[in-house]
Amino acid sequence: MAYTEEELKKELETKEYEYGFYTDIESDTLPKGLNEDIVRAISKKKDEPEWMTQWRLEAFRAWKDMVEPEWANIHYKKPDFQDISYYSAPNKKPKYESLDEVDPELLATFEKLGISLDEQKKLAGVAVDIVMDSVSVATTFKKTLAEKGIIFCSISEAIQEHPDLVRKYLGTVVPQKDNFYAALNSAVFSDGSFCYIPKGVRCPMELSTYFRINQAGTGQFERTLVIADEGSYVSYLEGCTAPSRDENQLHAAVVELIALDDSEIKYSTVQNWFPGDKEGKGGVYNFVTKRGICEKNAKISWTQVETGSAITWKYPSCILKGDNAIGEFYSIAVTNNYQQADTGTKMVHIGKNTKSTIISKGISAGKSQNSYRGLVQVNSRAENARNFSQCDSLLMGNECGAHTFPYIEAKNKSAQIEHEATTSKIGEDQIFYCNQRGIDTEKAIALIVNGFSKEVLNKLPMEFAVEAQKLLEISLEGSVG
């Protein structure tokens, strides 16, 4: 983090929400509201086979009877689900072979976001499947991946071209009726990413997708399905930014990870949706269901850096089904101003000798509320299950809150579970020490926060770690009195 003071200052001044712009691209948007016809229409627009339409309808019917969950420690005005348009896609969607064919306005958007496609292409091994308002418009490195037999495409493409795989795995980890938002997503998801790593293949590059909400008043319903076949390895990156808007936007994504025997999936997220302005106006509602299932000897590792969204409701989970499976969760959640985050994980130990690690760091500043909510469950047949959880919270200012709700359920006598949590503020002596050595308070805080988050930052792939560190600093600007 080699910033000069001026650079940082300048960055902070302009930081309100640096990605807050809006691209004017004609969109193909469905009327607002949700009913069976809309679900059918979405399915039809995407040319989906009949089984997919039925699958969506099933989810929709279940959703109709469900009520929004209220147990989370968050307060917000509930979205009106009939006042949302459930589909919007950039209207030109040819398949591009080269960048020249891409709508220049779209390219400009990406440039502002700092994802230069050319650069990405050249950059060491990052294939980018860019999702702009739900429809995949550019895929790079596909050919390289194809040679290894890796499928990395949008989920709608996968439904067309690999229906067997999709049909076999879709909804197996997060069933349609799992929860309110998962059911909604299952009914109306517009697009997302699909990834399949064949047996014994080690994916040579980090796979990544950039999401972006664009069309005004459109909810974004992403669906991601990652399948790692026996003995394979993949590292998947997901990063989000969204343009600023007054009206609250809804984001209800579902991510399913399937790690078959001996495989490993590493899923990293940097989430930076628009958090609302200083008065807490606007901002994205982020209600995400993320879950992975580990078969024998498999490993799933979730790493997340959450700095955005007005409301975050997110619990990336691992079901450790097979023997010797490993689940990991590393998280940093930063809330500032009026942001609210209720996030954590679930580790369900079913197989023997399963292990899980949870490291969660919460940083709250301003008037924000930050909650960790986690479940560690050891079933009666999970011999020698092992869990270690650590949740640390850092409070900055006296108007914010930090909360911890860990649930621990053990039904096996050989289980070993440890949980520890601490809440504290940045020590005055620590800041004084830095000041003494000529480091100003703002920088000292950045330094301390960085140290506090190090355990999690270290788990991020290189590309993300740098970005994440920067994000942390920006998000906490002005929170020191």
Partner 1 sequence: MDLKEKLVSSFMAFENNVDIDHFVHDIRSEAIKNFENKGFPNKKQEAWKYTSLNSLLKIDFSIFPKEVNALEYKDVKKYFLHEIDTYKIVFIDGIYSSYLSETTHDGVDICLMSSALTKPMYKAVIDTYFNKVASGEDSLTTLNTAFSQEGAYIYIPKNKAPKKPVEILHFATGNEANLMLQPRNLIIVEENAELQVIERHQSLTSNEVLTNSVTEIYAAKHANIDYYKVQNNVKSASLIDNTYISQKDTSTVKVHTFSFGGKLTRNNLNFYQDGEHVNSTMKGVSILGEKQHIDHHTLVHHRQPNCESHQDYKGIYGEKSTGVFNGKIIVDKIAQKTNAFQQNNNILISDKATINTKPQLEIFADDVKCSHGCTIGQLDEEALYYLRSRGIPKKEASALLMYAFANNVLESVRLPALKTRINKLIANKLGVRLGFEL
Q: Report if residue 54 touches partner 1, rule: CB under 8 A.
A: no
Q: Report if residue 405 touches partner 1, rule: CB under 8 A.
A: yes
User: What span, in angstroms and rounded, lies between the C-alpha atoms of 480 and 444?
Assistant: 11
Q: Report if residue 418 touches partner 1, rule: CB under 8 A.
A: yes
Ramachandran category for residue 379: left, alpha or beta (phi over 0 → left; psi -120 to 50 → alpha): beta
Nearer to partner 1, 35 or 414 (CB): 414
- For partner 1, the binding residue among 5, 399, 432, 454 (CB under 8 A) is 399
Q: Which two tokens stand for residue 412?
A: 């096996």
Q: How far is the CB of 206 from partner 1 (least distance, A)?
A: 36
User: Parallel, antiparallel, or unpaired for β 135-139 and 126-132?
Assistant: antiparallel
**C-alpha pair distances (Å), 217 with each of 29, 148, 233, 282:** 10, 40, 38, 12
- For residues 238 and 211, the answer to whether their CB atoms sit within 8 Å is yes
Q: How far is the CB of 190 from partner 1 (least distance, A)?
A: 35
Q: Which residues between 425 and 454 bind partner 1 (CB under 8 A)?
A: 425
Q: How far is the CB of 240 from partner 1 (least distance, A)?
A: 28
The SS3 assignment for 353 reads coil
Q: Report if residue 411 touches partner 1, rule: CB under 8 A.
A: yes
DSSP state of 21: -
**Of 335, 333, 342, 277, residue with least CA distance to 302:** 333
Question: Total number of residues binding partner 1 (CB under 8 A)?
Answer: 35
Total residues found in the chain within this entry? 481
Q: How far is the CB of 41 from partner 1 (least distance, A)?
A: 37
Nearer to partner 1, 204 or 406 (CB): 406
- For partner 1, the binding residue among 404, 453, 469, 475 (CB under 8 A) is 404
- For residues 129 and 193, the answer to whether their CB atoms sit within 8 Å is yes
Binding to partner 1 by CB under 8 A, coded x per residue (else -) over 60-79, reads -----------x--------
Q: Report if residue 413 touches partner 1, rule: CB under 8 A.
A: yes
Nearer to partner 1, 413 or 437 (CB): 413
Stretch that binds partner 1, among 52-60, 326-334, 401-409, 458-466 (CB under 8 A): 401-409
Stretch that binds partner 1, among 187-195, 231-239, 296-304, 416-424 (CB under 8 A): 416-424
Q: Report if residue 393 touches partner 1, rule: CB under 8 A.
A: yes
User: For residue 151, which amino acid is it?
Assistant: I
Q: How far is the CB of 412 from partner 1 (least distance, A)?
A: 6
Q: Report if residue 14 touches partner 1, rule: CB under 8 A.
A: no
Q: Report if residue 419 touches partner 1, rule: CB under 8 A.
A: yes
Nearer to partner 1, 156 or 337 (CB): 337
- For partner 1, the binding residue among 29, 53, 144, 423 (CB under 8 A) is 423
- For residues 268 and 464, the answer to whether their CB atoms sit within 8 Å is yes
Stretch that binds partner 1, among 20-28, 105-113, 220-228, 419-427 (CB under 8 A): 419-427
Stretch that binds partner 1, among 56-64, 160-168, 243-251, 392-400 (CB under 8 A): 392-400
Q: How far is the CB of 313 from partner 1 (least distance, A)?
A: 17
Angle (nearest 5°) at CA 116 between 111 and 117:
125
User: What span, in angstroms and rounded, lies between the C-alpha atoms of 315 and 331?
Assistant: 10
- For residues 208 and 240, the answer to whether their CB atoms sit within 8 Å is no
Q: Which two tokens stand for residue 277?
A: 């302005």
Which are the contacts of 130, defined by CB distance < 8 A and separation ≥ 6?
110, 115, 117, 136, 137, 138, 139, 209, 210
**Of 402, 226, 392, residue with least CA distance to 316:** 226
Q: How far is the CB of 10 from partner 1 (least distance, A)?
A: 29
Q: Report if residue 415 touches partner 1, rule: CB under 8 A.
A: yes
Q: Report if residue 93 touches partner 1, rule: CB under 8 A.
A: no
For 431, phi then psi, to 5°, come to -65, -40
Tokens 């954590």 correspond to: 344
Nearer to partner 1, 122 or 413 (CB): 413
Q: Which residues between 361 and 390 bind partner 1 (CB under 8 A)?
A: 378, 380
Q: How far is the CB of 295 from partner 1 (least distance, A)?
A: 24
Stretch that binds partner 1, among 190-198, 322-330, 403-411, 432-440 (CB under 8 A): 403-411
**Of 464, 396, 460, 405, residue with least CA distance to 430:** 396
Cα–chain center distance at 94: 28
Q: Report if residue 478 touches partner 1, rule: CB under 8 A.
A: no
DSSP state of 399: S
Which are the contacts of 392, defined by CB distance < 8 A and separation ≥ 6?
360, 361, 362, 421, 422, 423, 424, 452
Angle (nearest 5°) at CA 291 between 297 and 239:
110
Q: Which residues between 306 and 325 bind partner 1 (CB under 8 A)?
A: none
Nearer to partner 1, 53 or 412 (CB): 412
- Which spans of this chain sit near partner 1 (rule: CB under 8 A)? 71, 378, 380, 393, 395-425
